[in-house]
């Protein structure tokens, strides 16, 4: 009791410091109110059927499905009646199989917030034997054991793709899936996890939660993507445990040789992607759950944020300093203090008297404006959004029909039911005023959903769930994704030919269809710098590639050394934003002295120079799901050292990044994959397939380029598109290989109608001759008329363009962008 009193007093004190005494009191009182809701309305919870309630066969709270008793063939696979339970196993594509288990027939109609892939016609061969049933497609073979039920999964050559599934059924935690973890299996993905990339031996909660500032090992976090990637004997498989109900997954923590998954919902559903390599798994998974939309190119630039830039004058000063100091920046973010009393879709007119004028000024200087929006709508009879929301019946309710409310930033708030299509459309329309004011992008926060006091909605809150009806147990993990969906779809209606950009703190499997994200309220500590690449790569392996971390950390204050290492490293991550908390010192690139400012300027400049290359990597991701930031295990999944290597990565196809992630260090030990590599800074050629040491003082991020690469570079610019007609550069790294350059207008949806240009470069070195051949497709004509050529790793005496006579070559030689197919260099 004494401990509870101390905890309550501590919460009051911290709350009073952050949001005021009255709000702090609301926060403290919400917790017992939530418990009271749970108790009062418990009988209104949607019943979840389980055979455990109706049988005496369960031992120790465990009931397996038992034996396969009846087999029925379906259009795409099998329906199996077991001793306890009914399951279907169906091929939804040649490489993806869906397993579903319920207590008994009929199988409910299929519904998923995660998946969008309609079943593809697939050749399915079924062979029945006494002990086994075999289901085979061109992409995999599934062997089903009859007595007792079990599953084994093989590639077309008969190689096992993952450990045998030896138990499915029900336990005290809900539905159960258990499979063997053979020695050598490694596991990745599962969305946002505050741990290193390789997950074997860990246990995770599958839900969404705001942990506030978090540390290594804290679980769960904001994003729940229950997609697990396995590597076994060099072969990759993906498993989507598709349930929005709370779940748990144990990856060999309790039993080192077994994986166990449970969720509290009525159905066990697992979609398995057969691979057999990581590239194929990502293609299959993002075909299943949807691809990332190609973002506007400005979103790939540098973003500056703070909680908060509290007045228009402060925003103007930040913008002016970026331009005066010649530090590129594309976006300034408006945190919650731009609002009137934290009321969403409003402005604080004392601090921001002329929002359209302010944003127009930013636009004239090449900046974009990004505004934060939370889901909570203040309970206020004088607040038009609240009044209209009540009239339109959009807010979540308790079982007795009263509106649910809880304390967040504005005070007591109502919350839209984003599981209702009509409500999503209403929400999208609320952005009209801010869009007219000029905002370019939006930031959806607090949507786990979070209520002050470290809590969320009571489970008894009712939801529409696309007309199916249900409660918050099913809606919780998908609430944030559906808020982002409502925002994205609303902006698409308001600006139909624009690439509308949303980023969200919370999400579920498939969130990449609507938004990008970041790793939430990280901390200004070296531990978090070390966590960042591992977290981002696991998010990429979960289908969410456009992610980043708050540079320098959100909570606390980085040292100059930490900030310098962070802002230089983050130049080679997909989302590049500095953000920090209220009551902390300023955290702009110039906030840590002239030496750190110059380091920040240098790496932000390189970010902008590399934008054609980075944009091409984003295009690849939008087409195939291939992560922008890839672990080295992509290069060699059979290499034992690569299985757990997560402090260096591929950034796109051709760059290898190996930053320093520890303090007071000026050396970096790193792995170079097989092949020839060039040091980006010195052009030194280094043979790979070995471990090397590289000097790495504070201003150096070790960076390597694959031989045979063509790197397209943009001119130095202060924002995307500042110099559209200036020559682009092509940097050729001696060797043989294939590279791509994707270009379009960077703003509209015209690329979907053919207004893009994709160039394929083939570089071939043969003795003293280096030949570049290019081909292209698409109707877009880039605005720059000329290119400049640079060679790395070799020197050339002359160059021949197509069939013309040879001419002397010098670095930076200019040629027309169009009108040629082949360049041939005679090497010195």
b/e 791-803 (16+ beta carbons within 10 angstroms → b) = bbbbebeebbbee
pLDDT attached to residue 15: 57
**CA 275 to chain CA centroid, nearest Å:** 20
| Statement to judge: residues 800 and 745 lie in one domain | yes
Pick the catalytic residue: 219, 440, 445, 743?
445
pLDDT attached to residue 524: 98
Residue 762 lies in a domain: yes
Concerning whether 250 is annotated as a catalytic residue, the answer is no
- The pLDDT tens digits for 160-176 are 999 999 999 999 999 99
| Statement to judge: residues 22 and 147 lie in one domain | no
Residue 10 has pLDDT above 80, yes or no: no
- The pLDDT tens digits for 685-731 are 999 999 999 999 999 999 999 999 999 999 999 999 999 999 999 99
| Statement to judge: residues 167 and 89 lie in one domain | yes
Average pLDDT over residues 740-765: 99
**For the domain that residue 811 is a member of, what is the CATH number?**
2.60.40.1180
DSSP secondary structure letter of residue 584? S
Return the higher-pLDDT residue of 61 and 89. Answer: 89
Helix (H) / strand (E) containing 443: strand 441-444
Residue 21 has pLDDT above 90, yes or no: no
Contact 419, 437 (CB under 8 A): no
Beta bridge partners, 730, equal 712, 789
| Statement to judge: residues 75 and 176 lie in one domain | yes
pLDDT attached to residue 125: 97
CA distance 175 to 168: 8
Residue 12 has pLDDT above 90, yes or no: no
| Statement to judge: residues 184 and 269 lie in one domain | yes
Residue 188 exposed, middle or buried by CB count within 10 Å (0-12, 13-18, 19+): buried
> Which residues are CB-neighbours of 204 under 8 A, at least 6 positions away?
190, 193, 219, 220, 248, 249, 251
pLDDT attached to residue 402: 98
Contact 98, 90 (CB under 8 A): yes
Nearest partner of 113 among 537, 631, 466, judged by Cα: 466
pLDDT attached to residue 56: 54
Residue 236 lies in a domain: yes
Picking from 271, 289, 307, the residue at the C-terminal end of a domain is 289
Beta bridge partners, 501, equal 441
CA dihedral 643, 646, 651, 654 (to 10 degrees): -40
| Statement to judge: residues 259 and 167 lie in one domain | yes
Residue 705 lies in a domain: no
Nearest partner of 666 among 625, 634, 697, judged by Cα: 697
- The pLDDT tens digits for 464-483 are 999 999 999 999 999 999 99
pLDDT attached to residue 59: 58
pLDDT attached to residue 696: 99
Pick the catalytic residue: 361, 440, 521, 743?
521
Concerning whether 521 is annotated as a catalytic residue, the answer is yes
- In sequence order, what E strands does 491-572 have? 501-504, 507-508, 516-517, 550-551
> Which tokens hold the place of 512?
């990449």
CA distance 571 to 577: 9
Contact 282, 634 (CB under 8 A): no
> Which tokens hold the place of 598?
């110059």
CA distance 635 to 644: 13
- The pLDDT tens digits for 647-687 are 999 999 999 999 999 999 999 999 999 999 999 999 999 99
CA distance 397 to 143: 47
Residue 758 lies in a domain: yes
- In sequence order, what E strands does 667-812 have? 667-672, 676-679, 685-687, 690-695, 703-706, 710-713, 728-733, 737-743, 757-766, 769-777, 786-792, 796-801, 807-808
| Statement to judge: residues 132 and 26 lie in one domain | no
- The pLDDT tens digits for 401-447 are 999 999 999 999 999 999 999 999 999 999 999 999 999 999 999 99
| Statement to judge: residues 34 and 95 lie in one domain | no
Nearest partner of 289 among 481, 153, 475, judged by Cα: 481
Residue 818 lies in a domain: yes
- Longest CA–CA separation in the chain, Å: 90
**For the domain that residue 272 is a member of, what is the CATH number?**
2.60.40.1760
DSSP 116-171: -PPPPP---EEEE-SSEEEEE-SS-EEEEETTTTEEEEE-TTS-B-S--EEEEEEE
| Statement to judge: residues 21 and 170 lie in one domain | no
Question: Taking phi first (over 0 means left), then psi (-120 to 50 degrees means alpha), and beta for anything else, what does residue 689 get?
Answer: left
Look at strands 268-273 and 377-378 and give their pairing: unpaired
Mean pLDDT value across the chain: 96
- The pLDDT tens digits for 570-586 are 999 999 999 999 999 99
| Statement to judge: residues 168 and 285 lie in one domain | yes
3-state secondary structure of 462: strand
Average pLDDT over residues 375-393: 99
Question: Strands across the sheet with 769-777, in order?
Answer: 737-743, 757-766, 769-777, 822-827, 796-801, 807-808
pLDDT attached to residue 19: 64
pLDDT grade for 22, boundaries at 50, 70 and 90:
confident
Concerning whether 448 is annotated as a catalytic residue, the answer is yes
Can you say whether the dihedral through the CA atoms of 781, 785, 790, 795 is positive or negative?
positive
| Statement to judge: residues 22 and 118 lie in one domain | no
pLDDT grade for 225, boundaries at 50, 70 and 90:
very high
Residue 58 has pLDDT above 70, yes or no: no
pLDDT attached to residue 26: 86
Residue 548 has pLDDT above 90, yes or no: yes
Residue 407 lies in a domain: no
Average pLDDT over residues 287-293: 99
CA distance 395 to 417: 6
**Gap between the terminal Cα atoms of the chain:** 83
pLDDT attached to residue 27: 87
Residue 465 lies in a domain: no
Per-residue 3-state assignment (H helix, E strand, C coil) for 324-381: HHCCCCCEEEECHHHCECCECCCCCCCCCCCHHHHHHHHHHCCCEEEEEECCCEECCC
3-state secondary structure of 591: coil
Beta bridge partners, 188, equal 229
- In sequence order, what E strands does 454-580 have? 462-463, 470-471, 501-504, 507-508, 516-517, 550-551, 576-578
Tracing tokens 């999208």 back to the chain, one arrives at: 428
Average pLDDT over residues 510-515: 99
pLDDT attached to residue 14: 59
- The pLDDT tens digits for 126-163 are 999 999 999 999 999 999 999 999 999 999 999 999 99
Residue 494 exposed, middle or buried by CB count within 10 Å (0-12, 13-18, 19+): middle
Pick the catalytic residue: 448, 471, 489, 588?
448
| Statement to judge: residues 13 and 153 lie in one domain | no
Q: Which domain holds residue 95?
A: 69-190+225-289
Residue 95 lies in a domain: yes
Percent of the chain with pLDDT over 70: 97
- The pLDDT tens digits for 305-346 are 999 999 999 999 999 999 999 999 999 999 999 999 999 999
Cβ of 61: how many Cβ atoms within 10 Å? 10
- In sequence order, what E strands does 622-727 have? 629-630, 649-651, 655-657, 667-672, 676-679, 685-687, 690-695, 703-706, 710-713
Can you say whether the dihedral through the CA atoms of 548, 554, 555, 561 is positive or negative?
positive
Residue 461 has pLDDT above 70, yes or no: yes
Average pLDDT over residues 62-91: 96
pTM: 0.96
**Phi then psi for 394, rounded to 5 degrees?**
-110, -10
CA distance 108 to 192: 30
pLDDT attached to residue 290: 99
Q: How many domains is the chain built from?
A: 3
């Amino acid at each position: 009791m004494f401990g509870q009193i101390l905890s309550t007093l501590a919460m009051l004190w911290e709350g009073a410091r952050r949001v005021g005494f009255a709000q702090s009191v609301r926060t403290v009182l919400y917790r017992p109110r939530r418990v009271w809701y749970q108790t009062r309305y418990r009988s209104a919870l949607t019943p979840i059927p389980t055979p455990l309630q109706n049988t005496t066969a369960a031992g120790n709270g465990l009931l397996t499905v038992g034996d396969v008793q009846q087999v029925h063939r379906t259009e795409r696979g099998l329906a199996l009646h077991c001793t306890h339970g009914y399951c279907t196993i169906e091929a939804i594509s040649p490489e993806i199989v869906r397993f579903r288990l319920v207590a008994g027939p009929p199988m409910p109609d299929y519904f998923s917030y995660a998946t969008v892939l309609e079943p593809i016609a697939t050749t399915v061969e079924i062979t029945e034997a006494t002990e086994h049933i075999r289901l085979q497609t061109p992409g995999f073979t599934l062997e089903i054991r009859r007595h007792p039920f079990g599953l084994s999964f093989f590639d077309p050559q008969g190689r096992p793709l993952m450990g045998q599934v030896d138990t499915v059924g029900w336990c005290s935690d809900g539905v159960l899936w258990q499979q063997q973890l053979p020695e050598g299996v490694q596991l990745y993905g599962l969305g946002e996890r505050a741990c290193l990339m390789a997950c074997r031996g860990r246990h995770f909660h599958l839900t969404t939660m705001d942990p506030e500032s978090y540390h290594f090992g804290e679980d769960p976090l904001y994003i729940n993507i229950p997609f697990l990637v396995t590597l076994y004997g060099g072969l990759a498989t993906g498993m989507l445990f598709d349930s929005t109900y709370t779940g748990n997954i144990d990856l060999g923590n309790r039993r080192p040789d077994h994986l166990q998954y449970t969720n509290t919902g009525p159905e066990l559903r697992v979609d398995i992607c057969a691979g057999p390599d990581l590239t194929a798994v990502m293609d299959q998974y993002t075909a299943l759950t949807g691809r990332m939309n190609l973002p506007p190119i400005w979103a790939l630039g540098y973003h500056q944020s703070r909680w908060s830039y509290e007045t228009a004058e402060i925003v103007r000063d930040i913008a002016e300093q970026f331009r005066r100091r010649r530090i590129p920046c594309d976006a300034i973010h408006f945190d919650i203090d731009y609002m009137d009393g934290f009321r969403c879709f409003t402005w604080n007119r004392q601090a921001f008297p002329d929002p359209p004028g302010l944003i127009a000024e930013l636009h004239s200087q090449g900046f974009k404006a990004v505004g934060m929006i939370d889901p909570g709508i203040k309970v206020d009879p004088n607040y038009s959004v609240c009044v209209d929301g009540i009239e339109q019946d959009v807010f979540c309710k308790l079982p007795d029909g009263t509106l649910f409310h809880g304390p967040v930033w504005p005070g007591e708030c109502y919350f839209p039911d984003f599981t209702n299509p009509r409500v999503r459309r209403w929400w999208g329309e609320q952005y009209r005023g801010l869009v007219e004011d000029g905002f370019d992008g939006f930031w959806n926060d607090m949507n786990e959903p979070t209520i002050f006091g470290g809590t969320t909605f009571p489970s008894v809150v009712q939801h529409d769930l696309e007309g199916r009806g249900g409660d918050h147990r099913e809606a919780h993990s998908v609430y944030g994704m559906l808020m982002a969906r409502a925002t994205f779809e609303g902006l698409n209606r308001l600006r139909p030919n624009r690439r509308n950009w949303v980023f969200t703190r919370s999400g579920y499997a498939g969130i990449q269809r609507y938004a990008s994200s970041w790793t939430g309220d990280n901390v200004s500590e070296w531990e978090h710098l070390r966590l960042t690449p591992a977290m981002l790569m696991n998010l990429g392996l979960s289908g969410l590639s456009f992610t980043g971390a708050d540079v320098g950390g959100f909570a606390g204050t980085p040292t100059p050394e930490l900030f310098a290492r962070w802002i230089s490293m983050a130049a080679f991550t997909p989302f590049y934003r500095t953000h920090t908390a209220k009551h902390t010192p300023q955290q702009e690139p110039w906030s840590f002295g002239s030496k750190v400012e110059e380091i920040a300027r240098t790496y932000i400049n390189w970010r902008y120079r590399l934008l054609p290359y980075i944009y091409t990597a984003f295009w690849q991701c939008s087409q195939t799901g291939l992560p922008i930031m890839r672990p080295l295990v992509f290069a060699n999944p059979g290499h034992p050292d690569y299985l757990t290597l997560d402090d260096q990565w591929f950034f796109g196809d051709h760059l290898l990044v190996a930053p320093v992630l520890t303090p007071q260090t000026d050396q970096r030990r790193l792995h170079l994959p097989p092949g020839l590599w060039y040091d980006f800074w010195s052009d030194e050629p280094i043979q790979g397939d070995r471990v090397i040491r590289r000097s790495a003082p504070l201003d150096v991020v070790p960076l390597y380029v694959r031989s045979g690469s063509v790197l397209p570079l943009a001119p130095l610019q202060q924002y995307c598109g500042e110099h559209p007609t200036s020559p682009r550069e092509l940097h050729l790294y001696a060797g043989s290989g294939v590279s791509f350059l994707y270009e379009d207008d960077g703003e509209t949806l015209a690329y979907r109608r053919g207004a893009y240009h994709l160039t394929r470069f083939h570089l071939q070195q043969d003795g003293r001759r280096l030949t570049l051949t290019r081909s292209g497709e698409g109707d877009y004509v880039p605005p720059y008329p000329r290119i400049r050529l640079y060679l790395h790793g070799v020197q050339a005496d002359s160059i021949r363009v197509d069939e013309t006579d040879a001419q002397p070559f010098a670095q930076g030689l200019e040629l027309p962008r169009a009108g040629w197919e082949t360049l041939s260099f005679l090497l010195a």
